[in-house]
Amino acid sequence: MKKWFKNVSFMILLLKSCILLAQDLDAKKIIVIDPGHGGNDSGAIGVNNLKEKSITLEIARLISELAEKNHDQTVEIYQIRYSDTLISLGDRTKLAKALNAGLLLSLHCNHSDNPDARGVEVFVVNQNSRFSEEATWLAFQLQADLNHNLGFESRGVKFANFQVLRETTDLMPSVLLELGFLSNDDEQGYLLKPESLYALALVIWECLIKNIDSYESFGD
Ligand SMILES: [Zn+2]
């Protein structure tokens, strides 16, 4: 995609975020979903050419749809990208900040040279900050719910210095989810099915909202 178009898309996103804030500054609890990768960055690719960037975008779209249908409109889901475009990590965190989001969830899928590697990994930032405790708590909740409801093996909550986490941790709990391995036959087969992506979106959405009132980060 041409650079000017990407810049225009990003400016529109920023503008939309400002309009949203102006409309309803206090009433909305804003959750930002960051579909990992996009555009010429496909992320991990499975043997059937299943691309991480497409899975993350579809799950984000489904979470947005669930939010529109099922909630009382006090929770607003905002996606970092709505199409197959690449947004830099720095711009992703800028958007989350501009939106005054109360939670950030970055969606990814995993890949390993070991074809037997499988399961869900959840990352939070490896430093103490105002919201690192809430982020760690949410990470454990997400992992437990994905395990109990969908049978995903838990690989643990891990601590890392990922940019998207590091640059947001002072402002909101931020968590990065690795939703299974595209290098594993079973999990790739699972992620190929539209109903699986819906199931993932549903479990994530319900986990996000079930304790929505407990986060200190909303309403600052
Ligand atoms: Zn990724």
Kindly report the CATH number assigned to the domain that includes residue 101: 3.40.630.40
Amino acid in position 63: I
For residue 99, being part of any structural domain is answered with yes
Full residue range of the structural domain in which residue 89 is found: 3-214
> Model confidence over 128-186: pLDDT tens digits?
999 999 999 999 999 999 999 999 999 999 999 999 999 999 999 999 999 999 999 99
Distance CA 187, CA 96 (A): 30
For residue 219, being part of any structural domain is answered with no
For residue 220, being part of any structural domain is answered with no
Full-model pTM: 0.88
> Could you tell me the distance, in angstroms and rounded to a whole number, from the CA of residue 121 to the centre of ligand 1?
12
> Could you tell me the distance, in angstroms and rounded to a whole number, from the CA of residue 45 to the centre of ligand 1?
10
> Could you tell me the distance, in angstroms and rounded to a whole number, from the CA of residue 136 to the centre of ligand 1?
20
> Could you tell me the distance, in angstroms and rounded to a whole number, from the CA of residue 27 to the centre of ligand 1?
32
Distance CA 101, CA 84 (A): 23
Q: What helix, strand, coil percent values describe the chain, rounded to 5?
A: 45, 20, 35
Q: Which residues is 189 bridged to in the sheet?
A: none
For residue 199, being part of any structural domain is answered with yes
Chain centroid, CA 103 distance in Å: 10
CB 32 within 8 A of CB 95: yes
**Total domains present in the chain:** 1
Distance CA 137, CA 51 (A): 29
> Model confidence over 5-33: pLDDT tens digits?
566 666 666 666 656 555 555 568 999 99
